[in-house]
Structure 1
């Protein structure tokens, strides 16, 4: 399993992308060592599972995740997390642009509202990824 977390590398956030500095949902200052930027304990990586730290919405942009996935021989990626319309969507689009086969777990991600979540899943489904429920994913996996 691979994890991506959003955090700034400097304590003042100067290294964040422009979208992360704009007012609204993204205007959060999450220094990499702050409690708020850590992966919640219930989902924390086990053993030597890989964590990349991103300063943008996309887990591929500004990280070495693409290289890691390629080095591991991964071509199929399952995405879950928050926010569907921001981080999930940006990551999915980046992965698709890099020719990864992407699945988004619809009940494994969320947005500020159910309407926004549903709308974004409708936009990305069958173009950039396949959207399915966790139960469908379990049935789909070999």
Structure 2
């Protein structure tokens, strides 16, 4: 499990930008980034023990948010060779066997592309594919359309990798007008250093950063009220 370290000065400096101690789950969405077999499973191309540690808090949040009336949206990193979905060829060295394997693993329809079997997906949840690190840069714009159609105001974000797709999506969400809460122990990177660097950037300027216990307590308090 990551050792999350967020210095007090970071929280204090970011307080005036993004601090959300309460929110209405009926106008919120849990956005789960890339908790796919490729990023979670043992022996998978990007399989990560830290991502496996995030399964339990991700699932607890999915259950609680769903019960409170929030949307639960699962994003899947996806590769395609068809424009405009295809990434520019210069961004990936396809002669590298690891890169080629990663591209193949994340094609729609492969077992590695789907959500990891341990994830608590429910029948009413949405599963959306994205073709860029940030869901808001994706040419399909599936997440943005969905959120705007639902009148969503607050995004609670979890998943992997903290410093790549989670951070990229959270930054753009903030710039497009959504309140963002990133859940520290429900996110995962390859190392503690990358994880904490991303959380620092997010807390300073783009998002509130809370633990899963804190978000679950917010939901429980709202239900009690």
Q: TM class, shorter-chain normalised?
A: 0.7 to 0.9
The answer to whether the 8 A contact 1:19-1:56 is kept is no
RMSD: 2.5
Cα deviation code 1:42-75 (max 9, x no counterpart):
2152113111101110122223211100111111
Q: Tell me, in whole angstroms, the C-alpha distance in 2 between the residues paired with 1:131 and 1:69.
A: 21
Residue 97 of structure 1 and its aligned partner are, at CA, apart by 1.1
1:8 Cα offset (Å): 1.8
Structure 2 unmatched runs, 5+: 1-71
- Residue of structure 1 aligned with 2:142, choices 41, 61, 64: 64
Equivalent in the alignment of 1:123:
201
The structure richer in strand per residue is 1
Shift of 1:18: 3.9
User: What is the TM-score of this pair, normalised by structure 1?
Assistant: 0.87
- What is the rounded CA distance, in whole Å, between the counterparts of 1:20 and 1:54 in structure 2? 19
Q: Deviations over 1:65-100 (max 9, x none)?
A: 111001111110000000011000000011111100
Could you tell me how far apart the structure 2 residues matched to 1:103 and 1:140 are?
A: 12
2:165 to 62, 83, 87: 87
**Pair 48,20 (structure 1): closer, same or farther in 2 beyond 3 Å:** farther
Q: Which residue pairs with 1:106 in the alignment? A: 184
Query: CA separation of 1:19/1:5 partners in 2, compared to 1, >3 Å: closer, same or farther?
Result: farther
Q: Which runs of 5+ in 1 are unaligned?
A: none
Q: Residues 97-139 of structure 1, C-alpha deviation per residue, up to 9 Å, x if partnerless?
A: 1100000000001111001101110111141100011011112
On the 8 A contact 1:13/1:31 being kept in 2, the answer is no
Please give the per-residue CA displacement for 1:21-57, whole angstroms capped at 9, x wherever unaligned.
4359x94211111111100122152113111101110
Q: 1:2 aligns with which of 63, 66, 73?
A: 73
Q: Secondary structure at the match of 2:133?
A: coil
C-alpha separation between the residues in 1 aligned to 2:188 and 2:162? 5
Runs of 4+ that moved beyond 2 A: 12-24
Secondary structure in structure 2 of the residue aligned to 1:125: helix
Paired residue for 1:75? Answer: 153
Taking structure 2 as the reference length, the TM-score comes to 0.56
Aligned residues: 140
